[in-house]
Amino acid sequence: MAGIGFELKKLFDKNGLVNKAKAYTYSSLITIGPMLLCIVMVAVFNWMMRQAGVDFLNVELFQSSVIYAFIFSYIMSSMMTMYLTRVSSDFLNEGYHNALLPSLYGSIQITLIAGAIPALIFLIVTPLPLSVKTGLFLLFMLLIMIWNQVVYVSAMKNFRRIVGAFACGAVVSIGALSIILYLTPLRTASSALFSFDSGFLVTAGMLMVQIERYFKPGKTVSNFSFLAFLRRYPSLIVIGILNAVGLFAHQFIQWFGPSGVVISDAFLMAPQYDVAVFCAFLSAVPTLIVFVVSLETSFYPKFRNYYDYILSKGSIMDINRARTEMYQVLGQQFTLMMGIQMIFSIISIALGIRFLPLMGFTSTQIDLFNLLVIGYFAYIIYNVVSLVLLYFDDRKGVLWLAIAFLGMNTGFTAISVWLNDQGFSFFAASFLTLLLALARIIHVLNHINYYTFSAQPLVARQTENRFGPLLKR
C-alpha cells in the first residue's frame, strides 16, 4: 500500500487519542472498506426487508446475489491488486508519477473486461429475471472498480473524504431501499439490488474524483504503461489469484457437498456453512487493521534504515546493528498481533457460544463457528507473514506458500466433505501453512545478508517488454 505507512506515521507521531483514532479509522477503511461496507449493508438490508414483509425467497435471492458478486469480484480484482501495489510503489520511487492515474484506468479496463466475460456467460445460462441479472452484473462491475481503487486510495492523505465516500454510499443505499419498500409496491430482490448498486455507484464515483484530484498527470501516458513491469513481477499476479481462490476454496468445495443447495436455480451455496464462515471471518478483522497501523509504522523505518546503510555504503557494524533492530521490532510486532488476535478469537468464541443460538445457530453450527475462528486466527497470521516476506522480495517463497495453502485447503475440504465433516479442514490447512510461513521467514531472516548481497544476479536482467516504451513517452 504505497503511501499509507507515511501518513499513519504522521498521525501516530502526534499526541492525543483523537489522532490515534484517526489512524485506526484510516487503516480500517483502506484494508477492509469495501468488505466492511458489504457486510454491514447486507445485514441492514436483510433486516429492513424482513421488517417490511418481503418474502423469504426474495430475501434469499438478494443475499445470494450479493455474496456471489462480492466473492467473485474479489477473486477477479486480485489478478491485479497485488501487482498494482508493487508497481505503484515503484512508480513513486522511480519518478513515474504521471503513470499512476493512467495505471488505475488501465487496470480497471482489464479487470472489467476479464470479469464481464464469465459473468455474462453465467447470467445467460441462469433462469434469473432480467432485472436481477442487470442489478447483479452492475454490482459485480462496481465492486471490481472499488477493489482496484483501494490500491490507490491508500496513498491519499485526505481520509475524511474517504470516510465520506463510504458513508455516503451507505446512506444512499439505505435511503433508496427505504423509499422503495415504504413508498412503492416493488418489494423484490431486484429492487433491493438496484438500491445496493446506487450506494456503491456513489462510493466508486466519489473515490474516483478524489483519486483524480490527488494524482494529477502532467503529461499523457498510456493506460497500459503499468504492464511495462509485467516481466519483472509476473509472480505477483499468480500470488494474488492463488490467495483469493485459496481464501474461498473451502466454501466452493462445501457448495458441492451434502450441505449445498441451489437457490433460484442459479446460485449454488451451503447456507449454514457460509453463515458460520461469515461470522468467523469477522474475528480476524482486528489483525488486518493492527498490521497496517503497527507493523508498517514501526517495522518499515527499521527496514528502511537497514537498506539505507547498505546503499550508502555503511560499515558492517552499522549494517548488523540495523539488522538486529529490525529483527527486534519485527518480533515485537508479531507477538503483539498474535496476542491481539488471540484475545479477539477467545472473545469471539465466548460471544458465539452465548449469543449465536439467539440468532438461530444450532449446536453443530456453533462447533463449526469455533473451529473456523481458530482457523482464521492461523490464516490471518499466515497472511501477515506472507506480506512481510514480500517486504524482503521473497516472491518465490510467498508463491509456494500460496500454492500450499490452496492445495491443502482444497484437498482437506474434499476429504472432510467425503467424511461428512465441516470446519476442521480449513483449520488444518491454515495451521500447517502458518508453520510453513514461519519456517520460511525464519530462514529468510537468518540469511538476510546472503539474500541482500549474494543472491542478486551479477548482471542486471532486462525486464522490459513491448509496453516499456509506453511508460517512457
Residue 94: φ, ψ to 5°: -95, 5
Q: Report how far residue 466's alpha carbon sits from residue 334's, in angstroms, rounded to the nearest whole number.
A: 42
Residue 263: φ, ψ to 5°: -105, 125
> 4-23, pLDDT tens digit by residue?
444 445 544 555 555 555 55
pLDDT at 92: 75
pLDDT at 250: 93
Quick check: 1 pLDDT over 50?
no
At 278, is the pLDDT very low, low, confident or very high (cuts 50, 70, 90)?
confident
Quick check: 423 pLDDT over 60?
yes
Question: Mean pLDDT throughout 414-441?
Answer: 92
Cell 474516483, located at residue: 208
pLDDT at 2: 41
> 44-95, pLDDT tens digit by residue?
888 888 888 888 888 889 989 998 998 999 999 988 888 888 888 778 777 7
Question: Mean pLDDT throughout 425-441?
Answer: 94
Determine contact, residues 266/128, Cβ cutoff 8 Å: yes
> 331-386, pLDDT tens digit by residue?
888 888 888 888 889 998 998 898 888 877 888 889 999 999 999 999 989 988 99
Question: Mean pLDDT throughout 391-418?
Answer: 93
pLDDT at 297: 66
Q: Report how far residue 149's alpha carbon sits from residue 160's, in angstroms, rounded to the nearest whole number.
A: 16
> 244-272, pLDDT tens digit by residue?
999 999 999 999 988 889 998 889 998 88
Determine contact, residues 295/384, Cβ cutoff 8 Å: yes
Q: Which residue has the higher pLDDT, 430 or 230?
A: 430
The Cβ-side half-sphere exposure at 313, using a 13 Å CA radius, reads 0
Least confident residue range of 125-134, 251-260, 277-286: 277-286
Phi-psi category of residue 454: left, alpha or beta, with phi > 0 → left and psi -120 to 50 → alpha = alpha
Residue 77 CA from chain centroid, whole number: 10
Q: Mapping DSSP to helix (H, G, I), strand (E, B) and coil, where does residue 268 land? A: strand
Quick check: 292 pLDDT over 80?
no
Question: Mean pLDDT throughout 295-316?
Answer: 74
At 156, is the pLDDT very low, low, confident or very high (cuts 50, 70, 90)?
low
pLDDT at 38: 72
Least confident residue range of 154-168, 399-413, 423-437: 154-168
Residue 16: φ, ψ to 5°: 115, 145
pLDDT at 388: 87
Quick check: 159 pLDDT over 70?
no
Q: Which residue has the higher pLDDT, 456 or 228?
A: 228
Of the candidates 438, 436, 446, 439, the residue with the CA atom closest to the CA atom of residue 401: 436
Question: Mean pLDDT throughout 212-218?
Answer: 75
Q: Report how far residue 292's alpha carbon sits from residue 299's, in angstroms, rounded to the nearest whole number.
A: 10
